[in-house]
Amino acid sequence: MDLDSLKIKGGIALKGRIKSQGAKNAMTKLLVASLISDKKCIFHNVPNIGDVEITVDLCKEIGMEVLWDREKHIMEVQTKELKNLKISQRFSGANRIPILMIGALLGRTNQEIIVPTVGGDDLGSRPLDFHMASLKKLGATLGYREEKEEASYFAKANFGLKGTLITLAYPSVGATENTILAAIRAKGKTIIKNAAIEPEIVDLILFLQKLGANIFIDTDRTIHIEESNKFYEVEHYVIPDRNEITSYALATIATKGRIFIEGAEHLH
């Protein structure tokens, strides 16, 4: 069978019991967020999927040490030091995680960070303008360059980052995440208005609070962040994947079946 297609024989009501996986869109961002500190982080309910594997490989290039028990869905990570600030071009187009590396790493180094162009799904145009505008407002120098048929984004903060008021033109999930990660170690206070507040964003903030970050969500899509420099070891349970759960639910309804999804969070 072609790996790019699935042949499905329908007409059968779905039934049974299934356990939801951890959310890919949460786990990949949590891995990047852990780069902010040099402390050990232990994650539970880690999904065994490609995007997580790619993100692990990305983080290993930076210097992250990873122990992954796939059967128990537990992952232990720690980045004691940054060993490399140029992400390999082999990750170009793999997913959209490389651009988030910039926000996470700017607070740990004043050296130039270089990441390849991003990929991911094709669900609409998702430009990086919002990411760039927010990071520049925090004091970073960013740009795009092409050398020997290799396209990369680069970023640097010679004098460190400084907190400020940032109003996103659109509540972009990625731009909100990148701004949060960069602002954690920025001097002073950062306020992000018109921020995305999806469950994965809330989970990221809860993780950062455990890590030692001074961050909280206010009303009207506003996030407040105070400079943080003292961090702690963290143990965190990844939220269930709402997209996976919704897919199971819709397929069950469509086939007039009956299933039990263990670990689903109805508030998501």
Block means of pLDDT (10 residues each) for the chain, 268 residues, are: 71 89 95 97 96 94 96 97 89 76 92 77 52 93 80 88 96 95 97 97 98 95 96 97 91 91 83
pTM: 0.89
What pLDDT was estimated at residue 118? 67
Q: What is the pLDDT of residue 93?
A: 67
Domains of the chain: 20-239 (3.65.10.10)
Helix axes 173-183, 129-137, angle to 10 degrees: 20
Rg of the chain over CA atoms, in angstroms?
19
Give catalytic status of residue 203 as yes or no: no
**What pLDDT shows up at residue 1?**
44
Helix, strand, coil tally for the chain in percent (to 5): 30, 25, 45
Please identify which of the residues 2, 4, 38, 121 carries the catalytic annotation.
121
Give the model's pLDDT for residue 192: 98
- In angstroms, the CA 22 to CA 245 distance is 10
How high is the pLDDT of residue 131? 87
Q: What's the sign of the alpha-carbon dihedral 259, 261, 265, 268?
A: negative
